[in-house]
Amino acid sequence: MNKNKIIVPLSNNSYEVTIKQGIINNIGEELKRIGVKNNRKILIVSNKEISNLFGGELLKNLKKYKYSAEIFNIKAGESYKNLASLREIYNAAFDIGLDRNALMIALGGGIVGDVTGFAAATWLRGIEYIQIPTTLLSMVDSSVGGKTAVNHPKGKNLIGAFYQPKAVFIDPETLKTLPPREFKAGMAEVIKYGVIKDKALFEYLENDKNRDKILNLENESLIKIINNSIKTKAHIVSEDEKENGIRAILNYGHSFGHVIENLCGYGEYLHGEAISIGMKIAGDISTEKKLWPKKHSLRQDNLIESYGLPTKTPKIKKNEVIKILMGDKKVRDGKMRFILPKKIGEVDIFNDINESQFLKYFD
């Protein structure tokens, strides 16, 4: 098999993730290859910034392959990952007569991907959709695995569905226009895979030469880290599609990360920055519980910082922390569950952490 094609093996809807330089300009051919008939209407959901960069070529190429497609832009930013944007997509779908045979394409980062996925899951009780992620975070994480959602004022991603895409097409070339801060935020998820499952990836990321290549956006190293990350994600998702068990380990660093995003206001910290701090807290708790040695904790924190990501917790009121954590989707039967590292490349799920063990990090 082509080493840049990964199958996400699921019981009834397996799909391919293709990672290829330049693929963004040849989506028509890819759709044809995976059997999308050209009598199907396509609604591409994006935002202005992204569609200005890639939308024109995408439409041109789809036209070449006789697909009829239109672009609809939602507003950019986490504060627009909401029901209002969803309604706008439904309106656009209605206006262009998007029927049950139609297809949506998410062209953008995790926000566009999550909202479009949920729109596709719910429009006419579900139509197919394709992910074309354009941020590092969405390439290595959100475009694969079928978690779709919008935020509720009371919390992040509270309204959503598990709904798998028909295919994912990743073009590392699109990262060349991504602001460096966004790129680095995506590295947090890559580091996460190293800590939870892939020691070799962790060590690859630690190497100075590799870091230079990655931060200079050299194609080969980008394809390597995207490929490794998705392999881990695909493996975990195929074992536990709806997060009844093992899939929760993908949320390493996320419980505390969500607290930070939520209480500091979405936007002050990017998602990847918030989970970097979350991973640091989880690592410290694990060291304190004598689950993993201090030297590993330090290796993790050094790696996070070496990619320009934060590890320092902002000042947050402790009672607010509890409120957010209890509202977290990872709470089961009133018990908070935390993912803590045991080795580099191995984590476990714990529900016996008491408040005092984590609240001190929010002083």
Interaction site with ligand NAD (CB under 6 A): 47, 49-50, 53, 76, 78, 81, 108-112, 114, 134-135, 137-138, 141-142, 145, 147, 157, 174, 177-178, 182, 185, 271
Instruction: Identify which of residues 91 and 177 has a Cβ nearer to ligand NAD in the complex.
Output: 177
Instruction: Identify which of residues 180 and 293 has a Cβ nearer to ligand NAD in the complex.
Output: 180
Closest distance to ligand NAD from the beta carbon of 257 (Å): 10
Helix, strand, or coil (residue 309): coil
For 139-182, give the DSSP string. IIIITSS-EEEEEETTEEEEEEEE---SEEEE-GGGGGGS-HHH
Closest distance to ligand NAD from the beta carbon of 142 (Å): 3
Closest distance to ligand NAD from the beta carbon of 193 (Å): 12
Instruction: Identify which of residues 276 and 287 has a Cβ nearer to ligand NAD in the complex.
Output: 276
CB 305 within 8 A of CB 191: no
CB 130 within 8 A of CB 102: no
User: What amino acid positions are annotated as catalytic residues?
Assistant: 125, 147, 189, 233, 243, 247, 251, 254, 258, 271
Residue whose Cβ sits closest to ligand NAD: 110
**From CA 348, how far away is CA 143, in angstroms rounded?**
24
Instruction: Identify which of residues 282 and 291 has a Cβ nearer to ligand NAD in the complex.
Output: 282
**From CA 304, how far away is CA 287, in angstroms rounded?**
17
Q: Is the dihedral of CA 55, 58, 64, 69 positive or negative?
A: negative
Closest distance to ligand NAD from the beta carbon of 222 (Å): 12
Other C-beta atoms closer than 10 Å to the C-beta of 350 total 16
Distance of CA 319 to the CA centre of its chain: 29
